[in-house]
Amino acid sequence: MGRSLVRSAGFIALPLLGLFALSSGLVGASPGQGAQPAAVPVPTGAELTATFAGGCFWSMEKAFDGVPGVASTAVGFAGGTRANPTYKEVVNGGTGHAEAVQVIYDPARISYQRLLDIYWRSIDPLTLNAAFCDHGTQYRSVIFYESPEQRRLAEASKRALDESKRFDTPIVTPIQPAAKFYPAEDYHQQYYKKNPASYAAYVIGCRREARTRELWGDKQVSGVGSRESGVRR
């Protein structure tokens, strides 16, 4: 993800795994210029699409990948003004895009409400234009609705969280009409699987899982089988 000073500082305290990944040049490694965007999966039959932004799209893809009923995931960019942006352009700011994940799912096997539950429990919904150690509008959280029903469910879900008083401050995640989704370069797709050491170093250095546990309690990253902690922030 973006090479922010905040993230770099976080890596100083990494355990041996993170230090090894850093010293090996794994974190932030990317191929040469000219990498092409990945092909985006297309829904088939009764499958539907859901699009979410929640900071680092490596982590957002991992949250949904492999969940029963999810047919495929792809990472990319949404909500901006420039056509066909590259990863470098987005993380440098100025395109208006947010890093996002596009989820193709079978509504007969998993509901949009369940996807929302996974989404909320994978992000920090209290911080504007930032996600964990990544700062900037490109890391903002957004729910991009694809239909009036998705909008209704997303708004109800957000309202229920606010009314629950779980948090001391309101949810800042906006709910917006779906924007054109531009896939990121292929090396970002399934990044957590392709580069496990690099990804683990990022997660530890950025304190993403530590912060989500603080917000949501002891849970699986996918949001399955969560146990409420009662912690309020």
pLDDT in tens, the chain (233 residues): 454 443 444 444 444 444 344 333 334 444 444 478 888 888 889 999 999 999 999 999 999 999 999 999 999 999 999 999 999 999 998 899 999 999 999 999 999 999 999 999 999 999 999 888 989 999 999 999 999 999 999 999 999 999 999 999 999 999 999 989 999 999 999 999 999 999 999 989 988 888 999 999 865 433 333 333 333 34
Length reported for the chain: 233
pLDDT at res. 171 = 96
pLDDT at res. 42 = 87
Answer for the pair 59, 198: CB distance below 8 angstroms, yes or no.
no
**Which residue in this structure is represented by tokens 């040469």?**
32
Closest Cα partner for 122 from 48, 67, 201, 64?
Answer: 64
Domains and their CATH numbers in the chain: 5-26+42-216 (3.30.1060.10)
Answer for the pair 179, 76: CB distance below 8 angstroms, yes or no.
no
**Using CA of residue 150, residue 105, residue 217, residue 5, what is the dihedral sign?**
negative
- Tell me the β-bridge partners of 175: 143
Q: Which residues have C-beta within 8 Å of that of residue 97, sequence separation ≥ 6?
A: 77, 78, 79, 80, 82, 85, 90, 138, 182
Query: Model pTM?
Result: 0.81
Answer for the pair 145, 175: CB distance below 8 angstroms, yes or no.
yes
pLDDT at res. 74 = 96
pLDDT at res. 85 = 94
**Which positions are annotated as active-site residues?**
56
